[in-house]
Amino acid sequence: MPFVFQVSALKFLPLAGLLAFFSLTSQPTVAKPVNKAPTQAQQETAFLNSLSPERRAKLAQLKNWTLLIYNPQTQTRKGLFPVGWHQPGIPASTYKVPHSLIGLSAGVVNLQTVFPWSGQKYELAGWNRDHTLATAMQVSCVPCFQQLARKIGLARMQAGVEKLHFGKMDISAANLDTFWLTGKSQISPEQQVQFMAKLALRQHPFPKQHQDSVAKIIADPAIPGLHAKTGWGRVPHQGFGDSLPGQRHYGWYVGYYQAKGQTWAFATRLIAQDKLPEGFAALRKEITLDYLRFHKILP
């Protein structure tokens, strides 16, 4: 029953009580301040301001860049310059991750398989020796993965990519051992984090033991819980609404980090036009770890 105060009852209150009563009942309603979440632009500015001047100077030399992190358990996304999250680009050596999973599942390679060095001298000294799948991944040995592509074959490669939903790969008999490096194959940062999140949670439609193996060979020995792969593609200019001539450099760092029961998949892509900023290769990983630490995801 609602409370009803009888006016006649006021005559029994002393003067001090009357003043207190009317003081309480006549207080104006004060709106509580609303804490607004920072805008995307404010978040980006805060992060960039947290970086060293040297790091900011390197980023300023890029044509554009984007970074996305994704927690599949909470469906949370954070990142920088979201206009780039859905813009595709050449996968380059990030394809070595699904490539390994397809090869293991097809039975044409295992963790003890040796890829023999042909004797051809390559500019990257790490390629000039025999490799296992793990060491080939560590040095991103293109000739080794070209051997693997030919063992897998066109039909199994196409079927594997389709099952994994790894971007839009343009695979034919003519480019079977180069399609991830040149041509029309493309994947977006959003597609990269979806792929990596499924690998982290072992949700790909491939045997768990093979997903375990791939996760193991992309583990970062210096940071427990971090699993990642770099990629660097050089392609003629394409897309992004301009007509600048020259060569585009796509620098990727993709993977996932797990700690305290949480999973964060990430994809960073740097794009340079012709001239590369100093330390372009290292910058891919550095800026990603900076961002994970900024959000206190990585210690």
**Enzyme catalytic residues:** 93
Please provide residue 157's backbone torsions phi and psi, each rounded to the nearest 5 degrees: -65, -45
Q: Which residue has the tokens 């469906």?
A: 75
Residues 256 and 263: beta-carbon distance below 8 Å: yes
Residues 62 and 271: beta-carbon distance below 8 Å: yes
Exposed/middle/buried for residue 74 (C-beta within 10 Å: 0-12, 13-18, 19+): exposed
Residues 106 and 229: beta-carbon distance below 8 Å: no
Fill in the DSSP letter of residue 204.
Answer: S
Q: Which residue has the tokens 């051997």?
A: 147
Edge-to-edge order in the sheet of strand 262-273? 76-80, 64-71, 262-273, 247-259, 226-236
What's the CA gap between 188 and 271, in Å, rounded? 13
**Pairing outcome for strands 76-80 and 226-236:** unpaired
What's the CA gap between 112 and 98, in Å, rounded? 18
Q: Which residues, 6 or more positions from 250, have their beta carbon under 8 angstroms from its beta carbon?
A: 89, 90, 92, 231, 232, 233, 234, 235, 269, 270, 271
Closest alpha carbon to 297 in 80, 71, 84: 71
Beta strands in the chain (DSSP E): 64-71, 76-80, 226-236, 247-259, 262-273
